[in-house]
Chain A
Amino acid sequence: MSQTVPENHVTVRTDPVAQEDALVAIDHLSLWYDQFQALRDVSLTVPKNQVTALIGASGCGKSTLLRSINRMNDLVPSVRVEGKIHYEGAELYDASVDAVEVRRRIGMVFQKPNPFPKTVYENVAFGPRLHGYKGNMDELVEKSLKGAALWDEVQDKLNQSGLGLSGGQQQRLCIARAMATEPDVILMDEPTSALDPIATDRIEQLIHEIKKDFTVIIVTHNMQQAGRVSDRTAFMHLGVLIEEGPTDQIFTNPQHEMTENYISGRFG
């Protein structure tokens, strides 16, 4: 079932995030790749130290929205952005903002584990080294690997290639690598889609644990996963944010018909 979204759709918001809890506030964001409009006037407030899930069918713009938050879309030459993203009082798309600095504060974990062809240790130390970290690197590496629940498995393999680990371990290594730069926000773009169920379960547990230190925004194809890991859920369709609210509300009592159709599996 393919559904069109009316031009004048107003996002349905249940229990909106209070201003003082907000860390990232996306404000009327539209985005084009050449002529194709991938995001249509999206506004979404992301609360601090919570997990926000972005769900929706393929091509709905959820990954594009995620990549707008750390300005990864800047790497695509044909991209054009309108609107604002507020982050701790600053505006990320202001001409005075350096996208490279933004990505230090807003880390990212990708769909497919992508460790560098370097040792486990060097993978984790990469970000801190880049930014001239002055403290004890061994401690930071250990802390990050523990934070990503990987230390016990790799403490004897720190000098082996990160590519030698299993897929699930590689993805936790990528999470440790993102944590090592001590960002405020970690963006996760379908982080378990290339993993088996057991590795997926470990990552999901990990997401629960890290939210006390980080604000997590996760894109997922898997609605059960959104239900298990997130505090709030935003449902997108064809570049439009249809509905957002507390996860239990979205899943048990969706306000919009399209949301209901999607979560009940009638399209997507």
Chain B
Amino acid sequence: MQPTPKQAAEAIGINKSISRNVGDQLIRLVLFLAASVSVVTTIAVVYSLSAETISFFLDPAVSLWEFLTDRRWTPLFGESQRYFGISPLIIGTLNVTFVALVVGIPLGLGSAIYLSEFATARTRRTIMPLLEILAGIPTVVLGYFALFFVTPILRDIIPGLNLFNPISAGLVMGFMILPTISSISVDSMQAVPRAIREAAYGLGASRVEVVLKVVVPAALSGIVASFILAMSRAIGETMIVALAAGAKPTFTFDLRETIATMTSFIVQAAKGDQPAGSIGSRALYAVGSTLFLLTLMLNIASNQIVRRYAERYE
């Protein structure tokens, strides 16, 4: 009698085994769940942010117009002195971010150019881990460092500098974002093909000319993406500003003044005793949404630029 295909497969041991099938399915399921967690978390965060934010704007005490245009932000005050203009927090955030970028971009790009183009492999191997360590310092430590070490020094140099100020916080934040700028920029410069460096050398370019006129322009999109990512980190950074920049929402471009950023307001409001559902706690969510939108846009911009850069040399 002719054996069935199944019997024939079993006879030589290539038949499907139930235990293996189930095992494979199970592992797939576990891995899928692990991957889903991040998606679910994001959705949950966006949902809770937007729900509370909508309630905030539906409150009769608040108007979107006021939120966007008023220059006073005092949502935790008594009813008669309450104002809901977010601009002081945005200006405060930009002040600190500005200082951080002024410090972080030149140092980050400079160190990246040095590490990628001038350092020996040995130097690179020594310095890159040190940068990683800098990136790994807890920001609360950096915040204390800014407040207790940097600020006193700056107060001797800059007249009229407040104890809590964006210069000191921004300066230290500049060091915090330096490794981000540096490592992404090093990667994008290292991705510039040797062939086009040789082309430039072959035309009589010196080493500095090769770096500045060929390598940096070719890697520019990666470098710019690193700036945007660093900016996004600076805007979202919390502990340094909460500790060193102050908690006084002020509409000012004077970098010596105490300010509050979006993040430091959130810390202040969250550790205060705002009852859930109160206007004060909902204001926190409105600021959170604004912050989320801002950093989301920056991250999307950075991704777009990096994607374009990935297609560069083909």
Contact = CB atoms under 8 A, between A and B. Distances in A.
A101 B204 contact: yes
- Size class of the B contact interface (CB-based, 8 Å): 20 to 34
Nearest to A180: B203
Interface in A79-122: 100-104, 107-108, 110, 112, 114-118
Interface in B152-205: 193, 195-196, 198-205
A103 B199 contact: no
B269 interface: no
B313 A117 contact: yes
A115 B199 CA distance: 8
Report which residue of B200, B201, B206 has the largest number of chain A beta carbons within 10 angstroms of its beta carbon: B201
A117 B219 CA distance: 10
B254 interface: no
A130 interface: yes
B89 interface: no
B193 A100 contact: no
B196 A103 contact: no
A170 to B, nearest CB: 11
Contacts of B199: 110, 114-116, 174, 177
A181 interface: yes
B28 interface: no
A103 B199 CA distance: 11
B198 A110 contact: yes
A70 B198 CA distance: 12
Enumerate the 5 nearest inter-chain pairs by beta-carbon distance, A residue then B residue, closest first. Answer: A104-B204, A108-B202, A114-B195, A127-B203, A103-B204
Interface of B: 193, 195-196, 198-206, 209, 213-214, 217-218, 312-314
10 contacts: A72-B198, A103-B201, A103-B202, A103-B203, A104-B203, A107-B203, A110-B198, A112-B195, A117-B217, A117-B313
Given A115-B199, A117-B196, A181-B203, 19 more contacts: A72-B198, A75-B201, A100-B204, A100-B205, A101-B204, A104-B203, A104-B204, A110-B195, A112-B195, A114-B195, A116-B196, A117-B218, A130-B203, A130-B209, A130-B213, A163-B313, A174-B199, A177-B199, A177-B203
Interface of A: 70, 72, 75, 100-104, 107-108, 110, 112, 114-118, 126-127, 130-131, 163, 174, 177-178, 181
